Amino acid sequence: MSNGRERILQRAVKEIEDGMCVNLGIGMPTLIADMIPDEVDVMLQSENGLLGIGNYPHADHVDPDLINAGKETVTTKTGASFFDSAESFAMIRGGHIDLAILGGMEVSETGDLANWMIPGKMVKGMGGAMDLVQGAKRIVVIMDHVNKHGESKVKKSCTLPLTGEAVVHCLITEMAVFHFTDHGMELVELQEGVTMEELKVATEADFIVKSSSLNV
Coil, strand or helix at 107: strand
CA dist., res. 74 & res. 89, Å (int): 20
- Residues 100, 129: Cα–Cα separation, whole Å: 9
**Which of these is catalytic: 15, 17, 39, 47?**
47
Secondary structure class of 50 (helix, strand, coil): strand
H or E segment at 13? helix 3-13
CB 99 within 8 A of CB 40: no
Decide if 198 is catalytic: no
Residues involved in catalysis: 47
